[in-house]
Structures are given as structure tokens and as C-alpha cells.
Amino acid sequence: MQKRANIISAAERVFEVHGFHRVGVDAILAPSGTSTRTLYKHFGSRDGLVTAVLEKRHFAFMARLQEQRALEDPIGHLFDVQEKWMAEHGTRGCMLLRAYSEYAGANEEIAAIVHQHKREFREEIGRRVEVCVGRVDAELSVQVWLLFEGATAAASVYDSTPIGSAKRAARALVASAREPS
């Protein structure tokens, strides 16, 4: 299993920098010193490796969100994690959304995985919104999600400073939702 994990980690770094389709199998496997035969043994195909990388990335991010549950500021915590994540992984945008843009019409399985992971993330935001405002608020959850995703996209063409603005906007939306009507 260590070989599989090494291949996934190495491929993740390559995909992060070069994208998915623009890089050949040899370049993907070179950092791990793996042969094409080993790729097929562990993943069945190149797309199987892409799927494994996306799974790893999603679960690592979701685990990071759970590491430090910020009970005082669950929404602000999302953006704190985002900022730290980008400091570690760079500001190239969301790997899942980049994969979706490259595979949406070509591989239904990869597109479905991205949909599933984004749904799980939106559900996490929904749980945090509920903690903050004391009720389910689907519209507010979508608004916070859009601020998060927008900050991620903006950081990919600018730098990570939009994250602070998105955090303040999300907090203002939550505060407004808390106020009695």
C-alpha cells in the first residue's frame, strides 16, 4: 500500500502544477519512480489515478476542516483553513474544479466524484451555518459556499488576499441572519 500512496502523492504534485490532460503518463510517474505497469496494477488506468488523487485531496481538506472545530466562529474557520491550505498548496484554484473542467464531458466517473465531494463540502458549510444561526438556512449556506469558492478562484489569478474579504463578507451575512426580522 505504501507504493500506491507514493504514486498518489507524486501524481498529486504533478497535477497541481501541470493540470491533468497536459501531462503525459511518464511525467506523472517519474517523481515516484513508477512504471506504467505498476500504474495499471494499482489504479487500472490513468483516470483511476486521477480519481485516487481527487479522493485524497478531498479527504485531506475535509480532515483539515475537522482538525480544529472552531465553535466560536465556524464560518470564519472555513476561511482560516482555506488560507492555510493555499499557503501549503499554492493558489492555483480548486484541484477538484480544475479536474471537472478537464473531464466533465470525457469521464462521467470523475465528474461524479467532483459533484459528490462538492456536495459533501456544501453540507459541511450547511452544518456550520446551522450552528451559527440556530436553524437550517439553505440560502445562507449557498452564499457562504459561493464566497469560499469565489475566493479560491480569485486567489488563483491574484493572490490569497481575497480570502480575508470573503471571510468578512461571510461573517456579515451570518450576523445579518442572526438578527431578528
Dihedral of CA atoms 43, 56, 10, 93 in degrees, nearest 10, equals: 120
User: What whole-number distance in Å separates Cα of residue 15 and Cα of residue 173?
Assistant: 35
In this prediction, residue 47 carries a pLDDT of 95
Whole-number pLDDT of residue 142: 98
Each residue's pLDDT tens digit in the chain (181 positions)?
799 999 999 999 999 999 998 899 999 999 999 999 999 999 999 999 999 999 999 999 999 998 766 668 999 999 999 999 999 988 888 999 999 999 988 899 999 999 999 999 999 999 999 999 999 999 999 999 999 999 999 998 988 889 999 999 999 999 999 876 6
Residues in contact with 137: Cβ distance below 8 Å, sequence separation at least 6, in sequence order = 129, 130, 177
